[in-house]
A and B are shown apart, each in its own frame.
Chain A
Amino acid sequence: MTATETRERIVGRAIKRREDPKLITGQGNYLDDIKLPGMLHVALVRSPYAHANITSIDVSRALAMPGVVAVFTGADMMDINPMPAAWQAGGVKNNAVTPRALAVGKVTLVGDPVAMVIAEDRYTARDAADAVDVEYEPLDAVVDARKAVEPGAPQLHATAPNNVVFEWECGDQAAADTALASAEVVVKEPIINQRLIPTPMETRGSVARYDAATGEFTVWMTSQAPHVHRLLLTAFVFGIPEHKLRCIAPNVGGGFGQKIFCYNDMAFTMWASRKLGRPVKFVEDRSENYKYSTHGRDHISEAEIAGTRDGKITGLRVKTWANIGGYFSTIAAGIPTTLYGRIINGVYKIPAVHVHVTGVYTNTAMVDAYRGAGRPEASYLIERMVDRFAAEIGMDPAEVRRKNFIQPHEFPYNNQLGLLPFDSGNYEPALNKALETVGYGDFRAKQAEARKQGRYLGLGISTYVEICGVAPSAWIGANGQGWGAGLWESANIRVHLTGKVVVTTGSLPHGQGLETTFAQVVADELGVNYDDVEIQWGDTLGTPFGYGTYGSRSLAVGGVAIKRSADKIKAKARKLAAHMLEANELDIVFENGKASVKGSPDKAKTIGELALAASVAYDLPEGMEPFLDETSYYDPPNCTFPFGTHISVVEVDPETGHVDLLRYIAVDDCGPQINPLIVEGQIHGGIVQGIAQALYEGAVYNDDGQLLSGTLMDYAVPTAAMSPHIETDHTVTPSPVNPLGVKGAGEAGTIGSAQCVMNAVIDALSPFGVKHLQMPATPERVWNAIHGG
């Protein structure tokens, strides 16, 4: 068996993805591709008003149309509960008002569904939806979180006076007040993190089938977390045992957070399939996705940073109003609290910090996690404020950063904001690498020269840190974070009689290439051929429980669960080999896919031979059960804290306000990379979403609560021509938290980028006296900043 002896490690290699052949040939299987015999189609009747009482619904015209099977309203579905609130966070005033399957009595946002039409085909369903007559009594609406808490503002929910969902704080208020009061320099700035629409290219939907004979539901769903959806839908919405629901996520066309949450369509397709005895499909169109599926960010903050004239930061005080939308989405309160306030210090040692957050209902789409989820809001705020501070004291922004970095020897580092200590970090090498790549040494001279010619160049630096794989469950439970469950992951590995390895995972890849990455890990751990490892996911019937894929947690938590299952397989294989080779178990070593006797490499059994022996079970050691089949439940001891430096160079045209992004350099550190090709792809995509926030995107409501950016015609998702060439590099600082040393890479690009571009734009505009600019830096906004409009 020389094949395994000579096999090279596959971890760390940029191999192309095993997921791709079916996806590039049109053989993928996304939700809307699913067709079941007898399947019916749903079209929704949605509120055109942002805030209104429903006075009557007349379905008779719709019901009479040929091809229409049924029309239901919220009143028909009072036998199921509203959608669950799974993360109420500390400070929620027990007033989480979640949507029902269909709105009852009142609507609180444009697009709130009030009736569902079910027909034989989707065209008929849509026609009939237009024939449902709904009368509304319109109410005043409010879309701005700060206006919504003012006296006299329209009130959305009786249980939430002044529309306040929660008041939350972290840090030391007295210390922050003292630091600010006694500081040599204080800079205050309103910081707005605008509302964004995640925009996975595949919209959301569900297909539900009910089997009356067994009382079991099967639901195919666009989901990042099918096991969680099974739990929430059964235990909280339907009140049935978990095993009566099987959730399947097929290929998922991007998520970016929007597909984490438990949505009403999952419930109403289930309810209707049981009622009608036929499978029911609902797929939202893009404008429905924009109106009703979750949005991200939407913070209004007042930030104050304090420091000394020689560049030491001494305090930070932040007040934030976080827009939650018309209802409370699944984990809405966790994002602007734990994942934001507790990391607000960024990569800096700041002795006195206080953050206060008010969560607010408004007549807008629900706001929940969007790529980065809280950490982009935090890193944008601190990185803008550090640049403001540097400008105020006239110091190089790179130098201010250096002066305040947490130093390598200070890890594990406790930022005193309620997290477990930052695991590891070495911030300066990443900064130096990025500065060197951009040619920082002579940039300022070039910039000065260009200005003489009327050209306005700017350079922006962002040094970020973030939180991945939120854990451990005991910390989440003990610290009043309000998350309704732990956050471990599990995995099973079976080595079949033929030596083929099947891994099942509760993680849910939807573009991250986890099948490839996980197979690389397992192939090396067990010393088997990469092609002999199969990764299965997505079906709650065939996979162990998992909390799903978000928060850049699937390698650092899900992947480690797989590694631990492989460790258990190896332990059993060693024991079996000792028996077969008539050796002491302590003398058996497992390397390169075989168990051999220490010092006698010829006395060996391959993993294939051991799998066969374990499977036929003719001769097993005393007490050993047949088969190589092991499951692990992995609850990490801490989060991981990836970091990096991004630098961008822009040129602003003072005549038009147009921003040209000339260079984008990213030096990221996510620990060791299992597959550098995939890591780089994650970084690229994340960065363009952050650039999009800085320059292009913004969900805009008018004062009546109409979504003006309601389609892709109006909401500026960047094209290839609007996106820059990206130069990537990395440093490697392993995490001591897990045995793979990995940290996470899915969101880092987004967390590092928006402020990077804004710092560059504002640097370019500094000759015009511009100190801050809100995002997105559209030509109009930039022009007005230059020309004082």
Chain B
Amino acid sequence: MATITVTVNGKPHTNDVEPRTLLVHYLREQLNLTGTHIGCDTSQCGACVVHLNGQSVKSCTVLAIQCHGAEVTTIEGLAPQGQMHALQEGFWEKHGLQCGFCTPGMIMAAADLLERNPNPTDDEIRHGLEGNLCRCTGYENIVRAVRYAAEKMAVPAGD
């Protein structure tokens, strides 16, 4: 066992973990943050994407002990309690989800994409989300949702 301290969604947590514990299992099993999902065992599907020190990572491919001292943001912490991030709004407005299982990872990956490229073309959105699989939507409405968020985020605050 190793003891780690990780700041998750702004709150510090100190826990004992097995060295082999995956970040996704730490979040889901020990912190009860079950919004981060597991859809595969080969780092393909992206359902487990979270932000580690501000960058998107597949939390099934990161060990919990690697996150000692780090900041992790999950879907539960993307927006302040009771509010929605522009991407969450976009997915709702544009019907960017059906079963919702891939959605938390998809939104977290899209948030990172918009951070790097605030005004992506449809093609850039499609390529930017290549690490996330969705089986329900055919991606058309996910593209619309991300575009909605990009447009909304481009409006200066207060407008």
Contact = CB atoms under 8 A, between A and B. Distances in A.
A749 B140 CA distance: 14
A260 B35 CA distance: 25
Contact of B135 (A123, A256, A725, A726): A256
B36 A26 contact: yes
B100 A19 contact: yes
Interface in B34-75: 34-42, 44-45, 47, 74-75
Contacts of A199: 135
A16 B141 CA distance: 12
A726 B140 contact: yes
Given A286-B42, A719-B129, A511 B36 contact: no
Contact of B98 (A32, A122, A254, A689): A254
A720 B126 contact: yes
Contacts of A30: 34, 37, 101
B2 interface: no
Interface string B83-115: 010001001110101111111100100000000
Interface stretch (A200-208, A398-406, A698-706): A200-208
Contact of B136 (A26, A254, A286, A723): A254
B133 interface: yes
B133 A23 contact: no
Contacts, number: 181
**Which of B41, B44, B98, B127 has the most C-beta atoms of chain A within 10 angstroms of its own C-beta?**
B98
Contacts of B135: 199-201, 254, 256, 685, 689, 717
Contact of B100 (A23, A285, A682, A687): A23
B142 interface: yes
Given A25-B84, A711-B41, A201 B97 contact: no
Contacts of A108: none
B95 A677 contact: yes
B99 A252 contact: yes
Contacts of B20: 123
Nearest to A30: B101
A78 interface: no
Interface string B17-31: 010110001001100
A33 interface: yes
B122 A687 contact: no
Contact of A684 (B35, B107, B138): B138
B44 A712 contact: yes
A201 B47 contact: yes
B102 A201 contact: yes
A26 B104 contact: yes
B4 interface: no
**Max count, chain B CB within 10 A of own CB: residue among A23, A29, A686, A717:** A23
Contacts of A677: 95
B157 to A, nearest CB: 22
B130 interface: yes
Given A24-B91, A201-B133, A723 B139 contact: yes
28 contacts: A20-B92, A25-B35, A25-B76, A26-B75, A28-B100, A32-B28, A35-B32, A200-B99, A200-B135, A201-B101, A201-B136, A254-B101, A256-B135, A285-B38, A286-B39, A684-B137, A684-B141, A685-B137, A688-B138, A688-B139, A711-B40, A711-B44, A712-B44, A712-B45, A713-B44, A719-B133, A720-B130, A720-B134
User: 8 tightest A-B contacts by CB?
Assistant: A26-B35, A253-B101, A23-B100, A511-B99, A688-B138, A511-B98, A712-B44, A26-B75
Interface of B: 18, 20-21, 25, 28-29, 32-42, 44-45, 47, 74-76, 79, 84, 88, 91-93, 95, 97-104, 107, 122, 125-127, 129-143
Given A28-B101, A121-B29, A712-B45, 12 more contacts: A17-B95, A25-B88, A26-B76, A28-B35, A30-B34, A32-B37, A201-B99, A253-B99, A287-B41, A677-B95, A717-B133, A720-B139
